[in-house]
Amino acid sequence: MPADDCPPPGIALPWADGTFPPVHAAQRATVYDALMGMALHEASHALASDDVPVGALVVSPQGTLLGVGRNRREEGGDPTAHAEILAIRQAARTLGTWRLEGCTLVVTLEPCAMCAGAIVLARVARLVLGAWDPKAGATGSMWDVVRDRRSTHRVEVVGGVRQDECGTLIRDFFETQRGPA
Ligand SMILES: [Zn+2]
């Protein structure tokens, strides 16, 4: 059986038609919005453990879902348990390789320096992010680890997808943490 007849690994998504992301800009925007909705949903689960609500997922070049993650730093007492790291690890397990070539990582908040490094190491092709993080973001704000000219692997960055919703989720979380004024 030719390899082309094998279904691609991961979970098929409704809009997957063999290529990802869609070629047409309008269709691409619609799909990014839908994926960010899934990442937002995943982020909301972090609230149960008082974790900063950040959600991430990895999509294959065929448009299948390879991995999902949310921030579990408090839940696991693990400083490295960021949404992106957990989504990347699950995607690598799904594919059976650490190389996530051609893959897209979708995340509700601009990645930190650790996660930006992991995105480069995993050879992720594209980063779709929700809210920018001017204080600690490492993919365009404070630093730009994923598009550094000195690096041999660079990542396409699509920013500001559903950024109001992504930003509000985080702001509401910190306001609740501080308690009523
Ligand atoms: Zn991070």
pLDDT per position as a tens digit, 92-111: 999 999 999 999 999 999 99
- What average pLDDT score do residues 61-71 get? 96
Residues less than 5 Å from ion ligand 1, measured at CB:
82, 112, 114-115
- Report CA(176)–ligand 1 centroid distance (Å): 22
Which pLDDT score is estimated for 69? 98
- Report CA(6)–ligand 1 centroid distance (Å): 34
pLDDT digits (tens, 9 = 90+) for 8-18: 899 988 775 66
Higher-pLDDT residue of 3 and 84 is: 84
Q: What is the largest CA-CA distance in the chain?
A: 66
Tally of helices (H runs) and strands (E runs) in the chain:
5, 5
Read off the pLDDT band of 1 (50, 70, 90). very low
List binding-site positions for Zn(2+): 82, 112, 115
DSSP SS3 for 134: coil
Which pLDDT score is estimated for 79? 98
For all residues of the chain together, what is the average pLDDT? 93
- What average pLDDT score do residues 151-170 get? 96
Catalytic residue among 74, 84, 101, 175: 84
Question: Would you say residue 2 has pLDDT above 50?
Answer: no
Which pLDDT score is estimated for 178? 85
Out of 4-13, 133-142, 165-174, least confident range: 4-13
**What is the secondary structure of 64-129 as a DSSP string?**
-EEEEEE--HHHHT-TT--HHHHHHHHHHHHHTSS--BT-EEEEEE---HHHHHHHHHTTB-EEEE
pLDDT digits (tens, 9 = 90+) for 137-152: 999 999 999 999 998 9
List binding-site positions: 82, 112, 115
- Report CA(3)–ligand 1 centroid distance (Å): 35
- Report CA(137)–ligand 1 centroid distance (Å): 9
DSSP SS3 for 162: coil
- Report CA(84)–ligand 1 centroid distance (Å): 6
Question: Would you say residue 120 has pLDDT above 70?
Answer: yes
Asked about 84 being catalytic, the answer comes back as: yes
Please tell me which of 2-6, 12-16, 24-28, 36-40 the model is most confident about, judged by mean pLDDT: 36-40
pTM of the model: 0.94
What letters, b where the CB count within 10 A reaches 16 and e where it falls short, cover 113-152? eebbebbbebebbbbbbbbbbeeebbbbeeebbbbeeeee
